[in-house]
Structure 1
Amino acid sequence: MANGFDPRATAAPHPTTIGRAGVAYHAGLRSYMLSVYNYMASGVLLTGIVALLFANSGYAAAVLGGPGILKYVIMFAPLAFVMVLSFGINRLSTGTAQLLFWAFATVMGLSMASIFLVFTGESIATTFFAVAAAFAGLSLWGYTTKKDLSAFGTFLIMGVFGLLIAMIINIFLQSSVMNLVISAIGVLVFAGLTAYDTQRIKSIYFEVAGTDMLGKTVIMGALSLYLDFVNMFTFLLNFLGNRE
């Protein structure tokens, strides 16, 4: 009974256990986040390569600029993949989720080939590296900050729906001023979502560590950050890019 109140009896083993658990936790978290970033970066790279090859093939202008149904298939196929991954991830195997992610990045490349037909190569490259630097800083802040970004994220997600509504309206209005406003707001919204999603992905690790959901969570985290990056890039390019 006396040993229960003796600091010498309890202090030695306790910190040793915590230390080992802490080291294992941080190593696991680093590996998890590194996997997320690797998938995300690889997806962006694949999209860029496919977009460039398709744009230079000579078919992009005919397909994306023509009246055929194939143009709309390419435009909306990425959304279909996102929907399948988002709503079906619990029923998919990790391998299937990985294949769907790579397929999504590929069809996204076909869809984004149009930027090479509209904007100069210099403005595309400049915008890409500017967004990459901003993304790295925002994601690092989201990873390290102690501030809870949950409420901030909810506000930003509402902003995404507002952007979608505004973009649909502008399809009919064809207002260049409204297009610039949408692009400027879009950059800010997805910049904020980059930090929010990074913190959310990090916090999810607590729930999935050691379970069979870990691999699928990596894919979904990579998809979220991919969408943040690509949308921030697209909106900034539309706002500041030089056209051909």
Structure 2
Amino acid sequence: MDALKNDEIRQVVRQKYGRVAEGLETGCGCGPTYSSRASMASSESLSQGFGYTADDVGTVPQGSNMGLGCGNPQAIAALKPGEIVLDLGSGGGFDCFLAARQVGVTGRVIGVDMTPEMISKARVNTEKGGYLNIEFRLGEIENLPVADATVDVIISNCVINLSPDKPRVFSEAYRVLKPGGRLAISDVIAFAELPEAVRQDMAFYVGCIAGASIVSEVEALQTSGFTDILVLPKDESKLFIRDWAPGTDIEEYVVSASIEAIK
């Protein structure tokens, strides 16, 4: 894709998730809206289906968990007290709040999101929760507002598929990680070539389907310098991915996966 096309995609994604932050639309797949107790319960149920515990979803500020993920990066991150964590596409702050609990007062969590409405929502949630070791920065994951070699762990949950320039995302991730730093990502990947009609449909793109990378492209993280790359597809995720596009066989093309790598 050329630079103009990439920017057009970012604008559409930004507008879409701005409306999600305001509770006007759903996000990845068939995530819920958040204007009622029923929808809040639905987001909690979805997150537990992605691998979070009842304690996880019950201890974060209300409104931070919007059920937008496709897995639980916390489960593979193995966060330790004192670490500096960066969340790519931090949304309402759900994963950041969980990470803050694990790294403790000596650690720090940075959330980056390109949607102003999401950043505002996350900052309000931070105040509600009284967190002192979290900050949220407005920026694109292809151009991270983070200094070189300052982060111990990068997490992300169903966001990199939304980027039109994934090699740039991985290059930026490598830049900001300290030597020995690690990636712990949950994302949607494709194990078969998506139909062209799906790839060109922006509804499927902002729904976390059309932008999914082929497994081999993700494994090419080594071109950015990463080692110990592990891509683990989760076949059970087809059960909820099937509901993202009712009436299609999209689960025959994409799957949620955990992605790990070391700098």
Q: Calculate the TM-score normalised by the size of structure 2.
A: 0.23
The structure whose RCO (Cα within 8 Å, separation 6+) is larger is 1
Q: Pick the structure with more helix per residue.
A: 1
Work out which of the two has the higher radius of gyration on C-alpha atoms and give 1 or 2.
Answer: 1
Q: Calculate the TM-score normalised by the size of structure 1.
A: 0.25
